[in-house]
Structure 1
Amino acid sequence: MPLSSSNAPHRLSPRPSQCGLEAFLDHYGDVFEHSPWVARHAWESGLDATHDDPSVLAEKMGQALREATPEEQLAVIRAHPDLAGKAALAGDLTASSKSEQAGAGLDQCTPEEYTRFEALNDAYRETFGFPFVIAVKGLDRHAILDAFAARLDNAPAVERATAIEQIVCIARFRLIAMSERD
């Protein structure tokens, strides 16, 4: 059974299984950061009533990302902003990223924490060639900094797979939030 943030079943509205491509992309195309092709691929591979559940739809879309070419996967990973980075400070995040980062307290970092985030962002990008991605829901900035430092020791292939799974988790959280607003 799909996991959700409560015991009540969640359903998306409009129901993905009943959407044409244009309506589906209008409602769900931004779930994966600046990457509507993920939603398009999921829709084109076929949706049924089970995909009206946000967790099931997130997994379907996640499968599209997992099956993508390495270049497509990297483009999705690279579409994510640095955590507590320059885009956040400049106010250039998507609404979802801004809300998610604020929910983890990243907009309340001390100057020392911002400096640490900046150093870790730079080291991570230099090591892996893409930004550090983590589903921040339920985490605070201290837990995020700890995960950041620990994941710098991962092998590149492990970290790339971890980033993809974190992106799928972010999508699941976003879709659940959408279902709770409906």
Structure 2
Amino acid sequence: MTAFATVKPSSLSREAFIETFGGVYEHSPWIAETLFAQGISAADDDIEHLHARLAQVVRTAPREAQLALIRAHPDLAGKAAVRGELSAASTAEQAGAGIQDCTPEEFERFERLNAAYQARFGFVFIMAVKGSDRQRILAAFEERLNHTPEQEFARALAEIDKIALFRLQAM
């Protein structure tokens, strides 16, 4: 059980809760809004407990909302990253995996794989890249291109949940 160092979710107003946790899931404050509407208790002051409840909101959301959540994520090493348009959390996560250090050939490979993945699945490739590196990410990209659309939809949501947990732990 890990508690937040400086903030107790159970002590926050609706506005403060959404401001604090609305970005845990990329550009999707509706998840924090939904959870707050369900009620927040002292048990939610535990990171893992809060994460499990947030993940449950995602799991029980309509498929269209889940797809919108997936589509809210940027391409790895994509044009938004090159232009500096990522959220602060996404920028830090991609930098931690060394994506900003790609060679021109690696950037081209990322762009090619991003395009193939988007064409096959209709959304971006999502991977919780903390603790990973460019080579492992590219290998995962190529492997996951062979998955079915349903497998990748489920995998994208699972990766998003990992990202959310990493973001909560960083708070």
Structure 1 and Structure 2 fold alike (TM over 0.5): yes
Which of 85, 97, 100 aligns to 1:104? It is 97
Matched, 1:174 2:167: yes
* Pair 12,57 (structure 1): closer, same or farther in 2 beyond 3 Å: farther
Which of 145, 150, 153 aligns to 1:152? It is 145
AA matched with 1:41:
T
Q: Hey, what's the Cα distance between the residues in 2 that align with 1:12 and 1:126?
A: 42
Q: TM-score, normalised by structure 2?
A: 0.96
1:12, 1:53 within 8 Å by CA — same for their partners in 2?
no
Matched, 1:137 2:121: no
Identity %: 51
AA matched with 2:75:
D
Q: Hey, what's the Cα distance between the residues in 1 that align with 2:40 and 2:47?
A: 12
> What's the counterpart of residue 52 of structure 2?
59
> What's the counterpart of residue 120 of structure 1?
113
CA RMSD, 1 decimal: 1.1
> What's the counterpart of residue 5 of structure 1?
none
1:42, 1:60 within 8 Å by CA — same for their partners in 2?
yes
For these two proteins, the number of residue pairs brought into alignment is: 171
> What's the counterpart of residue 156 of structure 2?
163
Q: Hey, what's the Cα distance between the residues in 1 that align with 2:170 and 2:111?
A: 29
Deviation digits for residues 143-166 of structure 1, max 9, x if unmatched? 111111111111111110110011
Question: Structure 2: which 5+ residue stretches go unaligned?
Answer: none
> What's the counterpart of residue 45 of structure 1?
38
Deviation digits for residues 80-114 of structure 1, max 9, x if unmatched? 00000100001010000000000000000011110
Following superposition of structure 1 onto structure 2, how do residues 74-93 of structure 1 map, counting pairs within 5 Å?
74-93=67-86
Shift of 1:45: 1.4
Q: Which portions of structure 1, spanning 4 or more consecutive aligned residues, are displaced by more than 6 angstroms?
A: none
Q: Hey, what's the Cα distance between the residues in 2 that align with 1:12 and 1:46?
A: 21
Question: Structure 1: which 5+ residue stretches go unaligned?
Answer: 3-8
Q: TM-score, normalised by structure 1?
A: 0.91
Matched, 1:17 2:15: no
Higher RCO, Cα 8 Å, sep 6+: 1
1:10, 1:176 within 8 Å by CA — same for their partners in 2?
no
AA matched with 2:18:
L
Q: Hey, what's the Cα distance between the residues in 1 that align with 2:111 and 2:39?
A: 41
* Pair 12,58 (structure 1): closer, same or farther in 2 beyond 3 Å: farther
Q: Hey, what's the Cα distance between the residues in 2 that align with 1:131 and 1:57?
A: 26
> What's the counterpart of residue 28 of structure 2?
35
Matched, 1:72 2:65: yes
